[in-house]
Structure 1
Amino acid sequence: MNLIREHAMKKRLRWSSLLAVIGLAACVTINIYFPAAAAEKAADKIIEDVWEQDATTTPAAPTSPAEQEELSSLPGFAWSRVLDFLITPVVAAEPNLDISSLAIKRITVSMERRYRELKPYFQSGAIGLTHDGLVAMRKAQEVPLRDRTQVNQLLATENNDRNALYGEIARANGHPEWEAQLRETFARRWIQKAPSGWWYQNAQGQWAQKR
């Protein structure tokens, strides 16, 4: 009788362990999965529109090995690559992220118009791209004193739009919890697609010039 009872207990333990593993796997798929490739594609489309880049004829300046090493140290870079190996083929076949909502369109149009005013300051090095997907004043001396208040206002409005953009994309796709990962994705892609000569922040917040 004891042997029968012991065998039954072992069998129940095996089933419990199996169910726990299955449950854990399900949690990983549901809670951790973030469509990194789709997010990069969506980011590239928006960045090209805002910066008026032609993806077919005006590719972004190539990233040097040193710059690539700096970009790989930005938050979320390594984790997004790990997820590419963890997700199943079925999950990987999910459609692209939806960036067609009216709210997203309004934000991107606003950013497109503002970019024409910000572009000269990107080119002069007065402003640059931050490591958290925003923009910031890098060298105020490059901006005429009479224009500094206006440039600071442009930067503040631009950052408001960028913050809103990341949140709106997450909400439009039914996953508000993706906002931080979308921000990390955009932060990398803004820098990677920036023209040569522009300035950006590395993971330590130090300024570097795109080669």
Structure 2
Amino acid sequence: MKRLLALLLLTFLSLPLAAAPPSAEINLDIGTPPVILVKHTLAQRGSRLVYFLDPGVIGLGYDGMIKVRDDSRLNLPQLQVVGKLIDQENPDRNSLIYAIAEGHGGQQFEPAVRAAQIKRWKAQFHSGWWIEDEQGNWSQKP
């Protein structure tokens, strides 16, 4: 019986730290292969997004996703391009968050990673680009 308890204790102590609650230290620059791959994909799309970010057609939603803000000046082909870009961008943004969380030890880190990544995206946004607040109101970054 003592041997069984010792074995159980040893097994418990050797569990990965991923089971521990998420810490406040989130490394958004973690270099796991999935993170690198998604960051590369996002970077390749960046210049096409800028084309619609500069005039304020799209912006950064409160949830960290790219959203249409004002499509009133777009024709149908441009609307289709914007829709396709958003349909590609937002799943990749979520994939980045999930990949970083996995790199930290598991999906229990996802809320902390998401909050940190949204903060980074807001900081990286250029002056004049649009950001949505919690109430759904849009304002230009100073």
TM over 0.5: yes
Give structure 1 stretches of 5+ with no counterpart.
Answer: 1-29, 46-98
Q: Distance in 2 between matches of 1:161 and 1:142?
A: 27
**Percent identity for Structure 1 against Structure 2:** 28
Task: Map 1:37-48; keep pairs closer than 5 Å.
Answer: 38-39=26-27, 42=28
Contact 1:130–1:187 at 8 Å: present in 2 too?
no
**Matching of residues 25-36 of structure 1 within 5 Å:** 30-31=20-21, 33-35=23-25
Structure 2: where are the runs of 5+ without partners?
1-19
Distance 1:158 1:131 in 2: 15
Larger radius of gyration: 1
Does the aligned pair in 1 maintain the 2:62–2:131 contact within 8 Å? yes
Residue 193 of structure 1 deviates from its aligned partner by 2.2
Q: How many residues align?
A: 123
**Superposition TM-score, scaled by structure 2 size:** 0.79
Corresponding residue of 1:53: none
Question: TM (normalized to structure 1)?
Answer: 0.55
Conservation of the 8 A alpha-carbon contact between 2:129 and 2:140: yes
Structure 1 position 32, deviation (Å): 5.5
Deviations 1:25-67 (A, max 9, x none): xxxxx425331xx44xx2xx5xxxxxxxxxxxxxxxxxxxxxx
Q: Which structure shows the bigger proportion of residues in helix conformation?
A: 1
Select which of 140, 150, 154 maps to 2:85. 154
Q: Give the superposed CA RMSD.
A: 1.5
Q: Evaluate the alpha carbon distance shift between residue 165 and residue 143 of structure 1 in structure 2; reply closer, same or farther with a 3 A threshold.
A: same
